[in-house]
Structures are given as C-alpha cells and as structure tokens.
Structure 1
Amino acid sequence: MEKMDFYVYLSPKEAAEKVKKAVTAGLYSGEILDEYVRILPNGKEIIMVLFEKYYMRSGNRATLTFLADNLEEHTRVHLSAGGGGQGVIFRFDWGAGASFSTSARDALAEYICK
C-alpha cells in the first residue's frame, strides 16, 4: 500500500478535477468507481474519489483513493493506493500502487505548498 499526504494551493474541487483528468486519460487510464462530495455549512468541502486501474505487470487491479478537504488554511490531499498485489500471502504489487499514487501527485505537483 502506498500513502501520501500533502497540501496544495487549490480548492478540493479544483484538486479533484486535476487528478481525475490525469488519472483517467492517456497512460494512466484508470476509471472512476465512486465520488463523494460533502459541503459543510461554513462553505468548507470534503471530496473523495475512488479510482481503479488494471496493471499488467502485477496482473491485478489497483485502487487509488483521493481525499481532499479545506478544513485548514490550505487544502489537504491524502492519496492511498492498494489492491495491486498478487496472491493470498504475498502482497507485492510490482510498483503498481506507487505508480498509481504518483500519477495523482504529479497532477498536483505545481500546486503543492512548499
């Protein structure tokens, strides 16, 4: 399982749109399985998007969960990829999880708070 946390200078909605565009197009042709948006009374928002992609190198499907909220000063993004491993005992995914989460992070790279 691959996990990443970082902050961006975008709204959760803008961050989600950039990640959706990157993950579902071209080389990173994943598909959206689910999307959940929660707008709070104070105008803050929480967005979750669940992606899935088949990786030939692992012979399995991997999932990527994107979660963004603006409950703090900047939008916090959490990425979690998993499910790309083979077999019951060994969960080695040949880098599928890292590749999937990195594709989402790369879509937001220029907006990451330093």
Structure 2
Amino acid sequence: MKDVRDFYVDITPIEALKVIEQSIVTGSISGKVLDVYKRSVGDQEIVVCVIEKFYYRTSNRASLTITLDNLEEFTKVHAVASGGGAGAFMRFDWGAGGNFVESVSRALDQYIVKQ
C-alpha cells in the first residue's frame, strides 16, 4: 500500500472531515486530532487536518495529514501518512502508513466519485 492517496467525493470538505473524524478518531482508542485548519472564500473551502494514532505493530505513533478542498467540481481528498517507521534510519513501518491512509478512503467509500 502507498502512504499517499488522492480521490474525489461528492460531499463538502467539512462533511468529509466529520465522516473521517467519526471513523478514525471516534472509532479508535489511540486516534487523536492534533489540528484542523479551515479557510473559505464564498462556497470554496480548504480544510487541512492532522491526525495521530498509535500503531502497536511498529510501537510508534503515525501521523496522517488530510487536505480537503472543493476548488473543482467535487471535493478532492489528499491523504498522506508519515512517522510510522520503527527505526531512526529505516522508514519501514510494517504497513501502518498504508493502512492509515486507506482508513480515509474506507471512511468515505460511499461518497467516492472519482479515484
């Protein structure tokens, strides 16, 4: 699995963020929203959210940064995971980063209109 994912959904950025938070944070013991940054001009919105979660498989906390914007016809979702590696020099994370990124698309699956 890649640690970066892009796709489009047919709900607003704020609605998408609520679905993501409900699925990843509320449905997790160790998930936590670190920051949410929102900007809007008229009907156009950009939302950046940083979520952190502990992964037992790496004994480490991973970070997930999600950018949502409706600057095009549909809301674009860009998700990237980092920090899940278990070593100082190796980035090998036993699939934690890919799993974290895929949790975004799983949460929004029913709203995805374009991959």
User: In 2, Cα distance between the equivalents of 1:28 and 1:72?
Assistant: 35
Q: Contact 1:47/1:67 (CA < 8 Å) preserved in 2? A: yes
Percent same amino acid at aligned positions?
Answer: 46
**Which ranges in structure 1 are unaligned for 5 or more consecutive residues?**
none
1:34-87 Cα shifts (integer Å, max 9, x gaps): 0000011x3200001100011111011100011100000000000001100022
Q: Contact 1:33/1:52 (CA < 8 Å) preserved in 2? A: yes
**Shift in Å at residue 27 of structure 1?**
4.2
**Which ranges in structure 2 are unaligned for 5 or more consecutive residues?**
none
TM-score, structure 2 as length reference: 0.92
Aligned length: 113
The match for 2:76 is 76
Q: Contact 1:22/1:28 (CA < 8 Å) preserved in 2? A: no
TM-score, structure 1 as length reference: 0.93
User: In 1, Cα distance between the equivalents of 2:29 and 2:108?
Assistant: 15
Q: Secondary structure at the match of 2:113?
A: coil
The match for 1:12 is 13
| 4+ runs deviating over 3 angstroms | none
Change (3 A) 1:104 1:29: farther
Q: Contact 1:60/1:84 (CA < 8 Å) preserved in 2? A: yes
Give the CA RMSD over aligned residues.
1.4
**Shift in Å at residue 28 of structure 1?**
6.7
**Shift in Å at residue 29 of structure 1?**
4.1
Q: Contact 1:28/1:103 (CA < 8 Å) preserved in 2? A: no
